[in-house]
Amino acid sequence: MPQEAKCRAPNLVVPVINVNKCEGKEDCLRVCPHGVFEMATLTAEHKAKMSLIGRLKARVHGNRQAFVMHPDACHACGVCVTACPEGAIKLVKVGG
């Protein structure tokens, strides 16, 4: 069965990235068939919401992380969750 056939209806869930775990390795960007993610540089506002360990990890990894830029494009196939080596992505029910 093709991966697309396993996907649930769009917009029931969206990917959420744990900013304290993401190391910006771009695996989610490479595997997402719907272009949900983009890489961006963390701003001071982003860093202010992170733990000390998260900020240190971010600095080591160039202060770049993946961001969910197009949540409406998500088809909830979960390949990003599986591909993330840090386990930083989870699918969260919309409105839940």
Reported as a single tens digit per residue, the pLDDT across 18-66 is 999 999 999 999 999 999 999 999 999 999 999 999 999 999 999 999 9
Who's near 17: CB < 8 A, 6+ residues apart? 28, 65, 66, 67, 68, 88, 89
Place of tokens 């959420």: 16
The CATH code belonging to domain 3-93 is 3.30.70.20
Question: For the chain, what are the domain ranges?
Answer: 3-93
Q: Look at residue 11 and give its three-state secondary structure.
A: coil
66-86 residue pLDDT tens: 999 999 999 999 999 999 999
